[in-house]
């Protein structure tokens, strides 16, 4: 088994669950914030997708480049999350085992590629939790799981 296969599977599952859970935030609440300084689901998606696109660039041998993302609606956000997490999983699977120890430079330091890949996966999982919490704040206390 490829050394990053389990991480790739986790990225795919969390991406599917993230997109699925976005579907339970009403479209008219996609840009809703519980506090003025908090992030809306739309802002969370914009942030996450820009980070994951930068991570995919690194996995494909490039530099980390974070470009602004501005999704306009929930459906677009769901498709973009599924697309970028699939690209991230494919990038993980395409790495040669020797690539995993290669040092890459991110805006906040230098890390072995394997560690940086896990940071992106943890960030994805973290923001998934934020989406689920927004659902709760909007009154949806049901757990919405996706089958694996």
| pLDDT single digits (tens) 80-95 | 999 999 999 999 999 9
For residue 39, give the DSSP letter.
P
With cut-offs at 50, 70 and 90, classify the pLDDT of residue 113. very high
| pLDDT single digits (tens) 60-76 | 989 899 999 999 999 99
Contact 29, 113 (CB under 8 A): no
Please say if the pLDDT value at position 147 is more than 80.
no
pLDDT given at position 145: 87
CATH 1.20.210.10 is right for the domain spanning 5-137: no
| pLDDT single digits (tens) 18-40 | 999 999 999 999 999 999 999 99
* Separation of CA 54 from chain center: 11
Average model confidence (pLDDT) for the chain? 94
Domain ranges of the chain: 5-137
Q: Could you give the angle at which helices 113-137 and 41-59 cross, rounded to 10 degrees?
A: 170
Please say if the pLDDT value at position 14 is more than 90.
yes
Measured distance CA(99)–CA(68) in Å, rounded:
28
N residues, the chain? 148
Measured distance CA(95)–CA(3) in Å, rounded:
9
pLDDT given at position 70: 97
């Amino acid at each position: 088994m490829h050394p990053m296969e389990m991480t790739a599977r986790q990225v795919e599952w969390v991406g599917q669950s993230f997109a699925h859970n976005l579907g339970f935030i009403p479209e008219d609440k996609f840009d809703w914030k519980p506090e003025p300084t908090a992030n809306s689901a739309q802002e969370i998606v914009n942030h996450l997708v820009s980070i994951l696109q930068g991570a995919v660039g690194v996995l494909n041998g490039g530099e980390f480049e974070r470009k602004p993302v501005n999704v306009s609606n929930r459906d677009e956000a769901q498709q973009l999350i599924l697309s970028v997490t699939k690209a991230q999983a494919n990038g993980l699977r395409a790495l040669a085992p020797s690539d995993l120890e290669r040092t890459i430079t991110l805006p906040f330091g230098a890390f072995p590629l394997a560690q940086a890949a896990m940071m992106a996966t943890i960030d994805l999982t973290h923001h998934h939790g934020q989406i689920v919490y927004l659902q709760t704040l909007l009154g949806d206390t049901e757990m919405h799981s996706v089958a694996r």
